[in-house]
């Protein structure tokens, strides 16, 4: 995990906190006090983890702020209408939560209830809008592909898109950074959001009027569908601190495995369930074998349409206890990295299966 993964982590923690707060609210309204305590304490712990991660992120970013793209004028207004009260209420929320928790610990529930009437909606708003702020800033409104950065530095493109073939191992993305100033611009940092990206620049010091070629090798491994990763370019220029470059690669899936995970609930009949394996391309692929490492379940292969459609029939030995297992699927696909596929099965408690 890098510093650039922290915003996504923070948003996830806010989402978890939202769920816990709502669960705690429902429990107290239905007089399930022990469950209410559990969910609210869990929300408090998650919020503490969030606060640590949030402070760490801004410390590591050393004051560099990710700004909302100016290309989306209306969305930018909405973003700030959400962000400003979010920041204010987040600052208010911390002491308010502490003031609300202390009476509950001391069993002074009348005071706890009075404070909770204010604390709960503020806490919930901060958690929900924390997710919205992340989605708007990092997911829904990326910089326009052809946008230029005003000032000393500009990029010919900030988005690299590529439709890869299933057999491709690596895709090379390239970006051109231009120095528009009369001074030397030094690239002080090249970072990526994923270890699957290997980034480099042909020069780290760009002379006036010159340009640098920034290249990123994207390792596809077993990628299917669309994946989006980021390269972060930093300089010491006063007009330009950091730019996020997007590498977006789409690769057609060779197979569909539905569902990828089979579930049984503890106590239900240990009956057979099926996973459908379909070949999505015209050229047929044969399933050579299916197996599981678990001794507490069996799996067998049924051919529905040779080279095209297969059923994996899975049956646990028992559903009296929890179980988690993998199914290894071996094909005769000529593309080695797609030759072996995986599916999964589990026996879990009813509340986990929901």
Beta-ladder partners of 299:
314
Asked whether 243 and 220 are in contact (CB, 8 A), the reply is: no
Q: Is 323 helix (H, G, I), strand (E, B) or coil?
A: strand
Rounded to whole angstroms, how far apart are CA atoms 261 and 147?
A: 42
Per-residue pLDDT of the chain (354 residues; tens, 9 = 90+): 566 678 888 899 999 999 999 999 999 999 899 999 999 999 999 999 998 988 887 776 655 567 787 778 888 899 999 999 999 999 999 899 999 999 888 888 889 989 999 999 999 999 999 999 989 988 887 665 444 444 578 888 899 999 988 888 899 999 999 988 888 888 999 999 888 899 999 999 999 889 999 999 999 876 777 888 999 998 877 666 788 899 999 888 899 999 999 999 999 999 999 999 999 989 999 999 999 999 999 999 999 999 999 999 999 999 999 999 999 999 999 988 889 999 999 999 877 655
Under DSSP, the state recorded for 338 is G
| Closest to 275 (Cα-Cα) out of 300, 306, 307, 308 | 300
Count helices and strands in the chain by DSSP H and E runs? 5, 17
Residue 4 DSSP class: G
Give CA angle at 3 (89, 122), nearest 5°. 15
Pairing relationship of beta strands 197-201 and 153-155 according to DSSP bridges: unpaired
Burial of 165 (0-12, 13-18, 19+ CB in 10 A): exposed
């Amino acid at each position: 995990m890098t510093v650039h993964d922290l915003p996504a982590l923070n948003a996830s923690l806010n989402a978890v906190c939202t769920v816990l707060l709502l669960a705690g609210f429902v429990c107290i309204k239905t007089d399930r006090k022990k469950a209410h305590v559990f969910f609210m304490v869990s929300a408090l712990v998650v919020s503490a983890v969030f606060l640590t991660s949030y402070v760490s992120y801004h410390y590591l970013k050393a004051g560099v702020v990710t700004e909302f793209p100016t290309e989306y004028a209306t969305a930018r207004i909405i973003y700030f209408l959400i962000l400003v009260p979010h920041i204010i209420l987040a600052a208010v929320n911390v002491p308010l939560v502490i003031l609300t928790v202390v009476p509950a610990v001391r069993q002074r529930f009348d005071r706890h209830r009075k404070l909770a009437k204010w604390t709960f909606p503020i806490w919930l708003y901060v958690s929900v809008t924390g997710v919205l702020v992340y989605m708007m800033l990092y997911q829904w409104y990326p910089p326009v592909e052809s946008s230029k950065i005003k000032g000393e530095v500009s990029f010919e493109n900030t988005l690299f898109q590529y439709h890869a073939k299933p057999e491709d191992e690596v895709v090379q993305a390239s970006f051109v950074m231009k120095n528009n100033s009369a001074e030397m611009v030094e690239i002080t940092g090249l970072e990526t959001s994923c270890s699957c990206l290997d980034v480099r620049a042909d020069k780290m010091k760009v002379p006036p009027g010159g340009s640098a070629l920034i290249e990123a090798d994207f390792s596809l491994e077993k990628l299917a569908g669309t994946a989006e990763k980021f390269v972060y370019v930093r300089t010491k220029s006063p007009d330009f601190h950091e730019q996020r470059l997007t590498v977006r690669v789409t690769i057609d899936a060779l197979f569909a495995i539905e569902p990828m995970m089979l579930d049984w609930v503890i106590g239900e009949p240990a009956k057979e369930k099926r996973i459908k394996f379909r070949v999505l391309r015209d050229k047929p692929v044969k399933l050579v074998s299916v197996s599981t490492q678990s001794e507490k379940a069996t799996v067998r292969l049924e051919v529905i349409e040779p080279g095209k459609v297969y059923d994996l029939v899975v049956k646990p030995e028992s559903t009296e206890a929890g179980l988690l297992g993998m199914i290894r699927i071996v094909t005769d696909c000529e593309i080695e990295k797609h030759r072996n596929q995986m599916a999964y099965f589990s026996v879990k408690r009813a509340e986990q299966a929901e």
